Structure 1
Amino acid sequence: MTGTLLPGTVAGDVLAPVRDFDRFLGDASDPSAVISTERSIELDERSEFPTDTVAAVDAWGLQRYYVPAEYGGLLTDAIAPLLMIRHLARRDVTAAVAHGKTFLGSVCAWVVGGDIAARMAAIAVTGDPVSWGLTERGGGSDLSHGTTAAHIADRGIRVEGTKWPINNASRGRAMTVLARTDQRHGPRSLSLVLVDKHEIDAATITYERKVATHGIRGADISGIRFRSTTVDSANLVGPVGHGLEIVLKSLQLTRPLTTGLSLGAADQGLAIALEFADTRRLYGRRLAELPGARRVLAEAVADTLLAEVVMFAGVRSAHETPAEMSLVSALVKFLGAETVDLLFRDLTHFVGARSQLVGVAGAGAFQKAARDNRVVGIFDGNSIVNLHVIVNEFGNMTRDGNPPDLDAVLAVLRPGYADRLPTSALRLVSRHGSSMLRALPGLVDMLEAKGASVAALAPARRIAADYRALLDEAADLPRQSQPDPLAFHLAERFALTFGAACAVAFWLARRGSIHGPLSRDDAWLAAVLQRLSFRLGGDPIDNDVAYAVTEAALEARTSGVVTLLSDWLG
C-alpha cells in the first residue's frame, strides 16, 4: 500500500509499544534503570560494549520491530522502530547503534523478499545481531571497487576477502556481504551473500581487532576476514549481479531511520542545555532569561524540531511515496545529520567548559552525545555522498511536471498508520524529484491562507523565492562527471529548502494534533523557518520568537524531551 494512510491515529495503532519501550528503559538519572547515564559514561570511558543494556533490550524484544510482519516480525509502520531507536539513543547512542545495526544488516533481504527474507527473519527476530558487510579498507564510500569475492558453484558460494570497518563484525551472528561475482567492473559485477556463522566452518573466518573511535567508543567497530568461507547457494540475497542495486535501494530506507540516532543525541544535548540555562544564575538572573542565551537556546530548539519533522517526513515518505526515496533519503540524511552537528557545535560554546568535562552535572553525558553523533553522520553515506546523490537528481528535480497535489502531500504527514513497508516500489532514481519539495510554493500560499503569523510567513516566502532561484541555477548548471563545488553548494541549499517544506507541511497537516506548550501558536514553526532562512543567508531568529519558543521548550522539558510528536511520549 502506498499513497493512503489507514484510518485511525498513529498513537492508537502503532505507538503504544513505543511508549511501553520508553517506560521499560526508565529514567536515565536512576542508577538502577536499564540505561543509566552514569553507567553509560563509565562504559564509554573504558570503550566497553554495553552488553547488559543490549541483552535487556533483546529480552524486551526491540528486534521484532526490525522484521516485517509478513516474515513473522512486528514491523508494519516504520515510525515505531524509528522512535524506539530515538528513545534508546537519547539515553545512549552507543547502545542504539549496537542494537539498531541489525535492521541495517537485514534490510537488503526485506528489499529482495521471498525465501531469503524468511531466512533472515528467522535470525533477526531472535535478537542475534546481523551486520552489513559493505566497506573495505582503502575503499571509503566507493562500494563499486570492492575486492571481496564470492565464487558461485553447484556446491555453494565461497567467499574470500576482508570487510572493514564493520559495526558488529565480531559480535554479529550473520552478515550481509557485498562481494564481487564478476571481475569485470560494472553495475552488475557485485552480489550479496548472507553469511550465517552458525552454518559455516568457524576456522575459515578471523577477525580484525576493534577500531578505536572518537564517538560510540564501546561499539564493536571491527573487521572480518573470509578464507574460503562456504555457504549454501540459497544464501544469495537477490539475483547474481544485483548487489549494488539492492544496496542502493536499501539505503533509501536506512538513511531516514538513522536520523533517529542523531535526534536521540539532540534530545539529550538539548535537555542538558535547558537544565543548565534554567538553573544557572548570572547577573542575578536565570541564564535562560538573558537575551543572548535565549537566542542560542531558541536556535537549538529550532534545530531539534527541524530534525524531527524531516525525520518524520522521511520515514512517512518511505511508506507513501517510495518511488521518490532515492532523493528524499539523501535530503533527510544530509539535513538531519548536519543540523544536529550544528546544534552540538553551538551548544558546546553555550555550556562552556562543562561540555568537555566528565562527572559534572551532566557534562559527561553532553560530551559523549556530541562525540557519538559525529559518527552517526558517516553511517549510510557521509555528507559528501548524500550531496552527490542530490546533485545527480538535479535533472529530475528541474524537469517540468504537473504541480503536486497539495492535499496528497499533506496526507503524508497527517495522523494515521501504514500496514507495511512497500520495498518493491523503491526506484534507483526519482522521476520528478520530491513532491514535498516541489510543493513548497503552494504550501507557503496555504500557510498564509491558514492565518500563520508574519514571523512564520516572512521567512517562508524568502525560502520559497530561494527555491525558485535554485531551480533555475540547477537547470543551467553544466552536467559533469565530477560535480564542482557550486553543484554541492546548490545541493545543500536544496536540502535546506526541503526542510522548510517539511516544517510547513507538518504544521498544516497536524494542527490540532500537537499537544503541550509548543501547540499554543506557530512560534515553533517561525523559529524553524527563521533558522533555515539564516542558514540560507537571511536574518537570525528574532527576539520575540526566541523568547516564545524557549519558554515553551523550558516548560516541555519536564517530560524529558522537546517534541512535536507528543503522542509518542511514555
Structure 2
Amino acid sequence: MTATELARRLGDPWDTANPAGHTAVLAADERGEPFGAGEQILDAIGLNAEFVPADLGGRLARLDDLIRVMRQVFRRDPALGLGYGASSLIAAVNVWTAGDGRQRRRAADLLLGGGRIAAGYHELAHGNDFAGSALSAYAGPDGRRRLDGRKEVIANAARAEALVLFARTSASPGSRSHSQLLVERADLPAAGCRDLPRFLTSGMRGVLLGGLAFRDCPVPADAVLGEPGRGIETALRSFQITRTALPAMAVGVLEAGLDATARFTDARVLYGRPLGDMPLIRSVLADAYADLLICDCLGLVAARSAHLVPDQMSLYASAVKYFVATLLTDAMYELSRVLGAQFYIRDGEYGIFQKLLRDLPPAGFGHAARAACLGTVLPQLPRLARRAWRAGDVPPVETYRLGGSLPPLSFDRLTVTSGGRDGHSAALTLALDAPDVPAEVRRLLHIVAVEFDALVRECAALPPGDLSVDARPEALDLPARYAAVLAATACVNVWLHNRDRGGEFLADPRWVVAALRRIVIRLRRDPGPRSRDQDRVLAAEALARHHRNSGFGLSDER
C-alpha cells in the first residue's frame, strides 16, 4: 500500500458527497464517534499490516514508508490516524522490541486479522512518572500474575482484543520494579476487569479514550514481555520508534491545514485583489510551509536513522517529538490568522480547520509529554559535549537521501542511551564546509554553528543537579536548542543530497534558506531581513500543490 493509493481510496476531501470527505469527518466529530466510513476503508485495505514486521507477514519494512502512508490518514482525520492505527502501533512496538517468538506471532496474527492492541501506560495520578506506576502484577501462588489497580486514558480500551500493560512486578524500589505484559481481553475474567467510563475530550473526539480497573485479576504467567523488571527499558526503547513516527505522521494535519488555507485564499478577494497576493498573507503561507518542510526533513532523517544508526535514536526520536510537535502546533495557529472567523466555525466549507486545530495538540502529545522528551536527552548532553560533538563521525549519506535503500529495521539494536554517539551533529560542520553552498545558506548555517558551539560549552559545564528531574527550567532549554540544531542539520543535508534527484523545487535553495531562517528565529537569534522573493516562491508552491492535489511534503506525491 502506497500513500498515493491510500489517498485515492479516501477520495476528494472537498467533495461533500464523498462518504470519506471533510463533511463526513466533521459529522462524526460532532457526534463524538469514530469515523466509521474511514475505518471501513482502512479495514478493506488491511492497514494493520503496515504495523507488523515483514518477517511476521506484515508490510512494516521501512519506517519512512509507514510514515508516508499514515500521513494520509492523519491528513484526512487525525482522530482516525490515532484511534485506528497509531494506538495499535504504540502497543505493538513493545511486542516487536521485547516479546518472544510466541508473543510476536500472536500479536502479528491479531493485527493481521483486523484486531486492535491497546497500550496501557497512563495512570492519571502519576502522569509520565513510570517508576511511580501503581498497577501491580505480582506473581500468585499458582504461578499466574494478578493485576490490581487501574490504567486510564487508553485509546480503544473497550474495543481492543489485546492490551500491553505497564505494571509493577516487584515491590522493590528502583528502575527494575516494572514490566510490560501482553494480555488478551478474552483471558481476563469479568469479575477481575472492569471498563471505566469514557473520557470526553475537546480534541480527538472520535478517539475512544477509556480506562480499565483490575481487582485480583489473573493473567498467564508467560504474559510478561521480555525479562521481568525490564519494563522501563522496553518502553524507552520502543518510544524511539513511536516518538519518531507519530509526530512525523501528524505532519499530515498541517498539510490539511495548508490545503484548507490555500483554498480559502483562492476564494477570497480583499481590497480588489486576491487574498493570496497580499504580502502579509504570502508571508504566513510561506512560514507555515517552511515549518512543514522542517518537520518533514527532521522526521525523515530520524526515521531513516532508526535503520542506519539505531544506537543513536534515543537522541533523535526525542528531538522529533519535541521539535516537530511544537512547530506543527504553532504553524496551525499562524494559519488560523488567515482564515479569521472561519477558523473557529464548526461547520461549512472550512469547518475542518477548527477540528484539525483541536486535534493536533493531543496528536503531538501522544503517550509522553514534550517536556519528558527533553528530560530524556538532558542527561546525555554533557557526555555528548565532551565526546561525540568533537569526534566528527557522520552518519551514512543514505540517511539523508529520499527513497534511498535501507537495511531492515532491527528493534533489538535500539538502546536506552546513545552511549555518547551523535553523528548528525557532526554533519552540520560537513555541510558548512561543502564547496557549492550558496552564500545565504552558508550565512544562516554559520549562525546555527555559532549557537552549537555555545551549546557545546554550556552542556559540558552542566552541574550534576541539572541532569535529573530536579533540573532547573533553564537547563531544559539546552535539549530544546539541541533539537533545533538537529533540525537545521537535517534540512541542509536533505537539500544537499537530493538536489539532483528530487525535482525542481527540492533543488531550489530558497526553501532551505526559508527553513534555516525559521530555525534561527527559534534559537532566538537574528536571521536578518526576510526576502519577499522567498515568500513569493514558497507561497506560490503551496498554492500550486493545492491546485494539483499534491502532498505538501518533500516527495510531492499526488
After TM superposition, the score normalised by the length of structure 2 is 0.94
- Distance of 2:412 and 2:299 partners within structure 1: 22
- Deviation at 1:509? 1.6
Query: What is aligned with 2:537?
Result: 548
Structure 1 residue 413, shift from structure 2 partner: 1.8
User: Which has the larger displacement, 20-29 or 411-420?
Assistant: 411-420
Q: Percent identity?
A: 28
1:134 equivalent to 2:121? Answer: yes
Instruction: Give me the whole-angstrom Cα distance separating, in 1, the residues matched to 2:72 and 2:481.
Output: 30
Unaligned runs of 5+ in 1: 1-15
Structure 1 residues 487 and 438: alpha-carbon distance in aligned structure 2, compared to 1, 3 A threshold:
farther
Aligned pairs for 1:274-285 within 5 A: 274-285=262-273
Instruction: For CA contacts below 8 A with separation 6 or more, give which structure has more relative contact order.
Output: 1
Instruction: State the partner residue of 2:5.
Output: 20
For residues 378-402 of structure 1, give each alpha carbon's deviation from its aligned partner in whole angstroms, at most 9, with x where no partner exists. Answer: 2132121111112122123212246
Unaligned runs of 5+ in 2: none
Matches within 5 A, 1:464-503: 464-480=449-465, 481=468, 482-503=470-491
Partner residue, 2:205: 217
Kindly indicate whether the alpha-carbon contact (under 8 Å) linking 2:374 and 2:476 is maintained by their aligned counterparts in 1: yes
Alpha-carbon shift at residue 92 of structure 1 (Å): 0.4
- Find the aligned partners of 1:409 and 1:334 in 2 and give their Cα distance: 24
Contact 2:383 2:420 survives alignment (8 Å): yes
The partner residue of 1:314 within 278, 302, 305 is 302
User: Are the structure 2 counterparts of residues 152 and 33 from structure 1 closer, same or farther at C-alpha, using a change threshold of 3 Å?
Assistant: farther
Deviations 1:72-105 (A, max 9, x none): 2121111222111100010100000011211111
Aligned to 1:111: 97
Q: CA deviation at 1:204?
A: 2.4
1:425/1:347 CA distance change after superposition, 3 Å = same
Give me the whole-angstrom Cα distance separating, in 1, the residues matched to 2:519 and 2:248: 20
Partner residue, 2:427:
439
Give the CA deviation at 1:65: 1.1
Measured after TM superposition, the shift of residue 53 of structure 1 is 1.9
Pairing 1:81-96 to 2, within 5 Å after superposition: 81-96=66-81
| C-alpha deviation, 1:257, in angstroms | 0.8
Residues 434 and 541 (structure 1 numbering): CA distance in 2 closer, same or farther, change over 3 Å? farther
Gap change, CA 1:34 and 1:308, over 3 Å in 2:
farther
Match of 2:2, SS? helix
The aligned residue for residue 348 of structure 1 is 336
The letter of the residue matching 1:87 is: Q
1:324 aligns with 2:312: yes
Deviations 1:276-334 (A, max 9, x none): 22332122222221111111111101111111111111111111110001111100110
Provide the aligned length of Structure 1 versus Structure 2: 548
Stretch deviating more after TM superposition (496-505 or 412-421): 412-421
1:144 aligned counterpart, secondary structure: helix
Shift of 1:34: 5.5
Q: Deviations over 1:113-163 (max 9, x none)?
A: 432211211212212111111111211111111111112245422222210
**2:60 is the counterpart of 1:75:** yes
SS of residue in 1 equivalent to 2:49: helix
- Is 1:99 equivalent to 2:68 in the alignment? no
Give the Å deviation of 1:439.
2.0
Q: Residue type of the partner of 1:268?
A: A
1:529 corresponds in structure 2 to 516
**Equivalents in 2 of 1:409, 1:469: separation in Å?**
26
The alpha-carbon distance between structure 1 residues 75 and 241, as it changes in their structure 2 partners (threshold 3 A), is same
Deviation at 1:203, TM superposition (A): 3.6
Cα distance in 1 for partners of 2:464, 2:272 equals 59
Secondary structure at the aligned position of 2:433 is classed as helix
C-alpha contact 2:95 2:104 (8 A) present in aligned 1: yes
Tell me which amino acid in the other structure corresponds to 2:125.
G
Written as runs of structure 1 = structure 2, the 5 A alignment for 1:42-191 is: 42-100=27-85, 101-115=87-101, 116-153=103-140, 154-191=142-179
Give the equivalent residue in structure 1 for 2:258: 270
Normalised by the size of structure 1, how large is the TM-score? Answer: 0.92
Taking structure 1 as reference, are residues 561 and 479 closer, same or farther at Cα in structure 2, changes over 3 Å only? farther
- Aligned 8 A contact 1:157 1:230 in 2: yes
Deviation at 1:190, TM superposition (A): 0.3
Q: Which residue number in structure 2 is paired with residue 373 of structure 1?
A: 360
How far, CA to CA, are the matches of 1:19 and 1:113 in structure 2?
33
SS of the residue aligned with 1:90?
Answer: helix
CA distance in 2, matches of 1:77, 1:418: 7
Question: Which secondary structure state, in structure 2, belongs to the residue aligned with residue 169 of structure 1?
Answer: coil
The 2-side partners of 1:52 and 1:524 are apart by 37
Within 2, Cα distance between the matches of 1:403 and 1:186?
Answer: 34
- 3-state SS of paired residue (1:44): helix
Mark the CA change 1:369 to 1:98 in structure 2 (over 3 Å): closer, same or farther. Answer: same
For 1:253, the equivalent position in structure 2 comes to: 241
The amino acid of 1:410's aligned partner reads V
Q: Distance in 1 between matches of 2:514 and 2:551?
A: 14
RMSD (CA atoms) = 1.8
> Matches of 2:214 and 2:405 in 1, distance apart?
42
Q: How many angstroms apart in 2 are the aligned matches of 1:396 and 1:411?
A: 26
Question: Residues of 1 paired with 2:530 and 2:429: CA distance?
Answer: 22
